[in-house]
Amino acid sequence: MKIFPRAAALAKKELFSYAGSPAFWGLAVFFLLFCSIWLFYFERFFDMDAASLRSYFAAFPIAFIFVIPALTMKSWAEERKTGSIELLLTLPFSEWDLVLGKFAAILAMIAAMLALTLPLPLSLLPLGNFDGGVIFAEYLGAFLLGASASALGLFLSGLSKNQAGSFLGSAAVLMTVMLVNRLAAGFALPFPLVSFFNYISLSFHFESFTRGLIDIRDLLFFVLSASLFLYLNTRVLVSGKWK
């Protein structure tokens, strides 16, 4: 953060805003309950007779469809609605300072929500011979998945004029990129088309992490896709600044 001191300052401000918001804690409770209900009710964990949390982490992409838009919807849409974005653009902050500051704050919130899920796997460890390396890979993949989805949500928030539009647009796009590989699997599509849908699907690249594999190709996909959407976000700010 020493490289981007202004981004760090903005991230700190955003963090206090999130941490002091009852909406964030309600969102965290939703995330925890959704994933827990998915594991114990829908996946019937105790009937599986397997020391694996793969079905638990399989719920994360679906939960992120709602969680990420709720985190990112006010980032730029609310700033634009209230006119405070014009004030931000007049401050001695570069577009990268603004984008990275907001992105870092959202990443911290995602990390906090993931940390809140730790008691569940820790309480299940005595019940079986769980592989700690696999669980680490699953958490790493969940964080990278959240980072890529957040960068996309920030970009879409920059294109929206209000929070409702930002939430609905981000949820629709995230639902598409999360589930497009599963939809493609249900149709007899040509192999090149299936490969394309798999490539753009965030959940497809997350699957290797849920198996305990840290595939460099999937890791790079998340990093590069997040970088792309952050760059596009700066271009949106530049275009707005020049208008």
Residue 99 is predicted with a pLDDT of: 93
Element (H, E) at 146: helix 132-159
Residue 242 is predicted with a pLDDT of: 39
Report whether pLDDT(52) > 60.
yes
Taking a C-beta distance cutoff of 8 angstroms, is the pair 225, 145 a contact? no
Closest CA to 56 of 69, 42, 67, 68: 42
Backbone torsion region of residue 223, taken as left when φ is above 0, otherwise alpha when ψ lies between -120 and 50, otherwise beta:
alpha
Domain ranges of the chain: 5-242
pLDDT in tens, 209-231: 999 999 999 999 999 999 999 99
Closest CA to 95 of 155, 153, 147, 144: 155
pLDDT band of 1, cuts 50, 70, 90? very low
pLDDT in tens, 86-143: 777 777 778 899 999 999 999 999 999 999 999 999 999 998 899 999 999 999 999 9
Question: 166: which residues sit within 8 A by CB, 6+ positions away?
Answer: 69, 72, 73, 74, 76, 77, 153, 156, 157, 160
Backbone torsion region of residue 188, taken as left when φ is above 0, otherwise alpha when ψ lies between -120 and 50, otherwise beta:
beta
Taking a C-beta distance cutoff of 8 angstroms, is the pair 100, 4 a contact? yes
What is the reported pTM?
0.92
Which tokens is 131 given? 């592989």
Residue 3 is predicted with a pLDDT of: 52
166 to 12, 78, 130, 163, 171: CA distances (angstroms): 23, 9, 40, 5, 8
DSSP codes, 40-108: IIIS-HHHH-S---HHHHTTHHHHHHHHHHHHHHHHHHHHHHHTHHHHHHHSS--HHHHHHHHHHHHHH
Dihedral pair phi/psi, residue 12, rounded to 5° = -60, -45
pLDDT in tens, 133-188: 999 999 999 999 999 999 999 999 989 888 888 999 999 999 999 999 887 777 77
35 to 67, 116, 190: CA distances (angstroms): 12, 12, 34
Query: Per-residue b/e over 166-193, b at no fewer than 16 CB within 10 Å?
Result: bbebbbebbbebbbbbeebeeeeeeeee
